[in-house]
Structure 1
Amino acid sequence: YLYSPLNSNTWYFLDWDNDGMLRKLELSLTGFSDYASWERGASNYWGNVLFNRALRSKSFRSELDRAVKDLRSYLTETRLTKMIKHYREVTESLVFASPDIDNLPVTKDQYEQIAAAIPSEIEENYKSFRESFKKPMPFYIGVPQIDNGKLRINWDASYDFEARDIRYTVELARDYAIGDVVFKAEDVLLPEVTCDAPDTGQYFVRVRATNSDGYRQDAFDYYVTDDGKHYGMKCFYVQDGGKVVEDTYEEG
């Protein structure tokens, strides 16, 4: 939330999704893909109109870096280790008792690993934040269209903070693992390609942007399976008569 108290000239960001933070090792242990790709770093906010506009300002990015460094200086490994020890004393009598134990997604040994790893994740996240400014920003893939026997695939142009050249790689496949590829184009300059229209069926188009320094970024779009998110792709169906229908996913 963006909030300014009554009789104040200051605006505050109130975050509410704290249950999704500091979960890198937990997600790895459970084999679930989430909070990865463009969701790590400043690119996570690029789809928001306000943040998009602000992040284009070099002075704003400098202020943001100072603010993040301030948080980093507070969230030290020593401080977090002490806090986690205290919180565990409060919560573990509940965590390892019914009904919570019945819904615990990890083993007790894994729980110990996760608790021990949390303090060092702050530094990992800071590195991801810094590196995200070296990458192109994510973008949305349009719904492919078929016209005169050709499939047209387009997407929004990516953005680079240092105005580096950007090229795109486009893959069209019958599976989300992009193993059964029916079309691929590399080193694409403009945000659009065409290929022969595929037969009826389910398809996945994945688009990635790479800048001249070799940093790569996925599209905003993703496909969700039981294993989590598969980033940078849009799923669609080609129906009889050449009609293209997008496969939509709503967050639960």
Structure 2
Amino acid sequence: MNGLTLHGLDHLSATSLNLWAAEPALWVIEKLLRRRAPVGCAAYRGIAVEHGVSLGLFDPDLNLADCQAAALAEFDRLAALSADPNRAKERESVPGLVETALAELRQYGPPTPPPEGQRQHRVEVTLPDVPVPLIGYQDFVWDAHGIVLDLKTQLRLAGDITPAHARQGAVYVAGGNRQMRFCYATPKKVAVYALEDPRTPLLTLRHIALRLERFLHLSRDPHELVGLLCPDFESFWWSAPEARALGRDVYGF
């Protein structure tokens, strides 16, 4: 039995593999111990902005103020119980992020709606020698333009696609002929970058997945695997105070 199946994992995702590559100590908490680490308000900011932008893209007549209000309401719902000290700062950025992203993306026209009953477009990819599929969900698709686009919100504009995002985007366009684009939005600026070579980050994901499978094959006891790792609490993955508390509870320091 392969290591993934040994631990009841019937699929992977680029997000999961990126977490394993960056902070395996957190990955085992979430995927093996099934204890969800709370995220910081930066993550809630991204979800909230995507919600407001999505409303404005699928309804071109919806005014900006209504899109911003919807995004703020979603942020408040998600962050209601958060102890993140950056909560107010992240909330303040939401209206500007919705404005810059909508101004850029409305030029594409309304996106292709996802299948009925789904909020996003689901994709499934099989990688050589990886025993389970990778599943992903595309933010926005324009069939008329042959474009898949992922929205990333930031407070400082990225100069290029990050390696982790490239791996995520490679899954979204694997085996197809669509172009993968990333829209990086800040409250003041926006930039759109195309992923020119999805094959290389997809190959990287395969190597990450194979190494994960071999690690999981070491033991069927998740607590034994936890004992092989050390958390780096200075990593942004542990930015939420509740996440750090969970990590200290599991790792004992």
If the TM-score is normalised by the length of the shorter chain, which range does it land in? Answer: under 0.3
Larger helix percent: 2
Greater RCO, CA 8 A, separation 6+: 2
TM-score for both structures, normalised by structure 1? 0.26
* Larger Rg over CA atoms: 1
